[in-house]
Structure 1
Amino acid sequence: QFGDSGELKLDDSSTHRNKFERNNEDVFKFPNILSLGALTKVRVTNHETALFKKAWHLEYVQVDDEQTGQSFMFPCNKWLSSSEDDKQTVRDIKCASDSPDSSRRGSLTPDGKVPYEIEVVTSDKANAGTTQHGWILLEGNKKRSDRFLMKNTPQKKILRRGQTDVFTFKSRPLGELRRIILGHQERPEYQLPSYEGREAQWHVAHITITDPSTGTKYEFPIRKWLDINNVGDAFQCAEKQEDAVTQQRHRESIKYKVTVYTGDVDNAGTDANVSIIIYGTLGDTGPRPLKQKGRNLFERGQVDDFFIETLDLGK
């Protein structure tokens, strides 16, 4: 969330003298690193050399942030080896879960409710505002909320022409929001003389709802007159926007094929060690060595194929 740690060498395990042995859990501490916030991925490398090649099967990595009390789990269950499995010595592993004390779950109320943020934009048309109440009901793929009343009072004049009002609505988690029901309700103490004409209507331009427990924003275009005392008009979610942390955690593992064409001119080939970094809109692979067992690579006029597995890099 707040950058990266840079490469950390796992030199001294506080639990075992011989590191990374079968069925061992090794603990490494880095007390001088500032908190990085909500973690999204780790990159683990098995640094094999020509003289020392040892296959390593990594089950999982758990990172505990002792400054915040958060804990993050990164399941791997794959080999890091140039000779085993898909012959990858570097793994990018996305975060599968975090602790109940994480910043996301910390956004829930003590009784387990989500404080949904509702932003209501009243249109800037003539007579678009209302002096009456508005109400909204949220529907998710798991549950439906109770009705939330947006009260107009002499002390708090809301839902007026061209105005943006923000409300907090505490509800049980509803899952992914799909639609809303929006209504316009008469104030008992401020009854209208007539239910006809613009005074008995409210024109809403747009509603945005933010779920702080997932970091997701839901956009609902309205652009409609709502009659007083209506039974409720339904509006579908038009767009869902996830924050950066959520986007990172939804990245899937992808195997990229890299084809290298060596030129067909004198001395075009090389016996040097070659590595590559692939950059995308969602990150990069870091340096990845281009190796193949039992093959002379990068010879004059030769085509060499390599496969690199990493989290989706976007475009």
Structure 2
Amino acid sequence: MEAKATKSRRSISGVGTVHYYGVDVETGRERGAGDLPECFINIMSSSTRQETGPLTMRPPAKEFTEGGVDSFRLESSVNVTDITHIDIGHRFAQGGWFVERVTVTNETTGQQLVFPCHRWLDRDRDDGKMTRTLRSGSPQRATAEYFVEVATGAQSTVQLAHAGVFVDISGAEGRTGRLQLSGPNARFQPSGVDTFTLRQQPDVGVMDALDLGYSGEGGKWHCDWIQVTNTTTGDVAFFPADIILSSEQPLMQCVASQTDRMGNPRRSIAAMTDDQPPTTLRSGYQVTFQTKRSMCSGANGEVSFDITGERGSSGKSPHSLL
């Protein structure tokens, strides 16, 4: 991306010397991560007190590439000779952007820096900020993946499949901001359990509370319980909610229990070390078999199966068919 000094600037009558900056923006893979038509960047130096001022970046596809890199060549009359930090952001109330990292090259000096971000620029997600100041190589807030299980109680009187259910998870390192619980299989049926995987969200550390709400109208939703697993760190937080949300009361806070849904004592993240692996926890599984319609196709008694996953095996043992 570097260019010779003689090719990286030009003179325009009445404008003066123009300097070029190469900017590569990597967008996250989360759904809706690049839902913006344009953004701006301000390239700055704290040592020389220079800055380019806001420079607009418009991707050709009118949105940034989810899981990809968009490249821009920007012009400025200012040569920031010692780049130390940048401001990057947007001014759109609707739409969000998950920025993984930004690479900036001053084509006049050849200086190239990488600015990690790993956060949302979204009014309704993370901390709600739409502009962030990034410094080269500085540690930014880590991200995590959350597996959310939501149990709907029997007292529900409304179908919430399209009503906009959300959670806002809080912990020792902050909060995630509102995370929508949606998907093609979301039903929130009475006495049912819905599951969601939320990727590339802010890591809040040890979870201690969450806000639960929905934006639907009419009827009541009975939330029995919620369990959130941070699959990145292994932290599991069980929230025995037993609350009813309605248009009159659309938002309530739940506090984490000292046990998980199966009654296991909650693990301490700080206590986990390489020479002291975490204790195996008990889990419940719902298993469905489909038997073909043929003579003697059924089974009387017990069957055996072994469930295997990333964290090991459940072990082969006989199970009764109820």
Instruction: Decide: shared fold, TM above 0.5.
Output: no
**Larger CA Rg, structure 1 vs 2:** 1
TM-score range, shorter chain: 0.3 to 0.5
